[in-house]
Homo-oligomer: A and B are copies of this chain.
Amino acid sequence: MGNIKQVAVLGSTGSIGRQTLEVIGALPHRFSVIGLATGRNTGLLAEQINQFQPRFVHSQDNTPSTSAKHEFLSLEEMAGHPEVDIVVMATSGKWGLKPTLAAVKAGKQVALANKESLVMAGEIITREAKLSGAQIRPVDSEHSAIWQCLEGEKQKAARIILTASGGPFLHYSIPQLTQVTPEQALKHPSWRMGQKVTIDSATLMNKGLEVIEARWLFDMAFDNIRILVHPQSIIHSMVEFADGSVKAQLGQPDMRLPIQYALTYPERLENPRLPRLDWDNIKELNFEPPDFDSFPCLRLAIEAGKKGGTYPAVLCAADETAVELFLSKDIKFTDIARLVGQAVEEHKSIAHPTLEEILAADTKAREKVKEMVGDNR
């Protein structure tokens, strides 16, 4: 109880990173920030450094505006540093892959918000975690919910029920979807998140990636992972056990709750800043099956996950590239799924790939998508 955990926050200036620092800031008797790393947002990084006085810092352009008392480390050095207790992997995209692996190999407690690590390299990461004794603590609200529901249970889940808000375009027809703008897609009905994740939530790609993550985090067959649309985002996910009993975890849609749990596990700490469910104002919770036809990214992701190999890496890379093209208004919303589908279809996968093979597939898929768009524009 008495000892203060040393936390390295990789991706500290992004949405999850900032919320992580907010949680840590509220619990100074339990956590200390030993490392901060960001990509290019060095302005905010400088503020964070000033507030938390970390020993280690990193930024992508190698020129942190820091004094000599902060040691500059690479992401991998920071993630695996012996004095780090908990690594919060809050970087987005494939940049999280190598530092996640470094943290896992070093046997850290890894609070994992980076989706791509498990989606692209789930086999490698879970194998290394078993070898090193690293503990992967999910930060995604859905996986955190499943993890919380499994806590203390003596057996594996029989089935996972992953809830999905359905995103801002729930019940939109395909013709309607072709017309949606980045501005509309960035308005998520229930969650406060980064841009890439918000668009992925609108295409339901995000939910598909979560299915792949769940497969690795909980060693669950794809056929035993079910998606259920639940627009209120109050039930964050559910687990069905062998006897038919189901446990659900509920809460306000607020990432600080799963972030804090990943930090304090197995304890729970009172934190007055965290919102509570108000049952005076919850009159109904709704459920419906997902619409695989209007949101083909969902099926693409599950198929890529089932096929394994380098398919999920190609899925991720093609999606990230397509989302960028959508945000820059170079393609339509519905083109995202089309491009991802085409990239996956044309890909020749490698079974049980190495990290290098995964990253090579990623690079190639990005080029491919840009090439396809060049042809089509």
Q: When the two chains form their complex, are residues B288 and A286 in contact, meaning their CB atoms are under 8 A apart?
A: no
Within 8 Å of chain B (Cβ to Cβ): is A4?
Answer: no
Residue A155 contacts which of B228, B247, B267, B288 (CB distance < 8 angstroms)? B267
Q: How far is the CB of A142 from chain B (nearest CB, A)?
A: 14
Within 8 Å of chain B (Cβ to Cβ): is A68?
Answer: no
Residue A268 contacts which of B241, B274, B275 (CB distance < 8 angstroms)? B241
Within 8 Å of chain B (Cβ to Cβ): is A244?
Answer: yes
Within 8 Å of chain B (Cβ to Cβ): is A250?
Answer: yes
Given contacts A238-B250, A246-B251, contact A287 B277 (CB under 8 A): no
Taken together as a complex, chains A and B put the C-alpha atoms of A8 and B152 apart, in Å, by 28
Q: Identify which of residues 130-152 in chain A touch chain B, using a CB-to-CB cut-off of 8 Å.
A: 148-149, 151-152
Taken together as a complex, chains A and B put the C-alpha atoms of A15 and B154 apart, in Å, by 29
Within 8 Å of chain B (Cβ to Cβ): is A243?
Answer: yes
Q: How far is the CB of A290 from chain B (nearest CB, A)?
A: 11
Within 8 Å of chain B (Cβ to Cβ): is A293?
Answer: no
Given contacts A266-B154, A282-B287, A286-B283, contact A248 B250 (CB under 8 A): yes
Given contacts A161-B279, A279-B161, A279-B287, contact A245 B241 (CB under 8 A): no
Q: How far is the CB of A31 from chain B (nearest CB, A)?
A: 14
Within 8 Å of chain B (Cβ to Cβ): is A264?
Answer: yes
Q: Identify which of residues 242-264 in chain A touch chain B, using a CB-to-CB cut-off of 8 Å.
A: 242-252, 257, 260-261, 264
Chain B residues with CB below 8 A from A246, complex form: 249-251, 277
Q: When the two chains form their complex, are residues B243 and A264 in contact, meaning their CB atoms are under 8 A apart?
A: yes
Q: When the two chains form their complex, are residues B274 and A257 in contact, meaning their CB atoms are under 8 A apart?
A: no
Chain B residues with CB below 8 A from A210, complex form: none
Chain B: CB-nearest residue to A150:
B152
Q: When the two chains form their complex, are residues A283 and B287 in contact, meaning their CB atoms are under 8 A apart?
A: yes
Q: How far is the CB of A261 from chain B (nearest CB, A)?
A: 6
Given contacts A226-B279, A282-B287, A284-B287, contact A251 B257 (CB under 8 A): no
Q: When the two chains form their complex, are residues B244 and A249 in contact, meaning their CB atoms are under 8 A apart?
A: no
Chain B residues with CB below 8 A from A240, complex form: 276-277
Chain B: CB-nearest residue to A264:
B243
Given contacts A269-B242, A285-B285, A287-B282, contact A248 B251 (CB under 8 A): no
Within 8 Å of chain B (Cβ to Cβ): is A289?
Answer: yes
Q: Mark A206-226, 1 if CB is under 8 A from B, else 0.
A: 000000000000000000001
Chain B residues with CB below 8 A from A280, complex form: 289
Taken together as a complex, chains A and B put the C-alpha atoms of A270 and B284 apart, in Å, by 31
Taken together as a complex, chains A and B put the C-alpha atoms of A275 and B246 apart, in Å, by 12
Chain B residues with CB below 8 A from A269, complex form: 242-243
Interface residues of A (CB under 8 A from B): 148-149, 151-155, 158, 161, 226, 228, 235, 238, 240-252, 257, 260-261, 264, 266-271, 274-277, 279-280, 282-289
Extra A-B contacts (9), CB below 8 Å, given A244-B276, A248-B248, A283-B287: A148-B245, A149-B247, A155-B267, A235-B248, A244-B275, A246-B249, A246-B251, A248-B250, A285-B287
